Amino acid sequence: MSFLESYFKYVKSAFIEHKCLFIFTLLFGVSCWIGGYYIADFIYTPAELSNYAYLSQETFFSFHDMMEIICNNCLINIIYYIEAIFLCIGPFYDMALNIGMSGIVSRATELACGDPFLFLKLTCLHGFFEDSSTILNSFAGFLLFLFVVKFIKNIFKPSKNLANGSITNSLEITKKLLYQSLTIFILAFVVMIIAGVLEEYISIPFGNFIAYLF
């Protein structure tokens, strides 16, 4: 089996075997956006919200800016993925902060121009990929935490050949979960890179065009 075949086998099995966890991750991400939209009026004054308004955008098609966006966003993915081992703090915080802020900016933009969908129109292309990457990365983080829990549990669990478990035996039992987590993390990483390329070169003129049409 080739590397790519093996990779996609673990990606597919991750979504199939942990579909309830993925659905939870997806619903939590949507809840963060809705929550950010509706609590914006309670945590910011109208004057403060106006600072978040996203009424127009322009680009200089800069390779340097693109690399800065990609490096920053991918670094965030890595940090929050690793922080998942601490009671899933990373995934929860990542979605609450980044997707929740998207809801807040949507509300701020609505107050500034009266269109509740303008922010989504302007950022629809790269925003879809960026939010998808955040959700995938959080899903990978949840799987990583699940691996850590099961790995530690199996260390102390007796096996057929051992009175007590062992690190090697535990890793053998739980390594599939680790592989699933890593493959989803890599997928989220690639999607975030695509989002960075789109944001700098395509998404802005595309978003302005969509906003102009609708």
* pLDDT of the residue at 200: 92
Q: What is the pTM of this model?
A: 0.93
Check residue 163 and give its pLDDT: 45
Q: What pLDDT was estimated at residue 169?
A: 83
- Residue segments in the chain with a per-residue pLDDT below the cut of 50: 163
pLDDT of residue 164: 53
Please give the pLDDT value at position 47: 85
pLDDT at 159: 59
> Do residues 138 and 94 lie in contact, with contact meaning Cβ atoms separated by under 8 Å?
yes
Phi-psi region of 88 (alpha: psi -120 to 50; beta: other; left: phi over 0): left
d(CA 139, CA 29): 11
Question: What digits encode the pLDDT tens for the residues 148-165?
Answer: 999 999 888 765 555 455
Beta-carbon contacts of 120 under 8 Å, excluding residues fewer than 6 positions away, are 106, 127
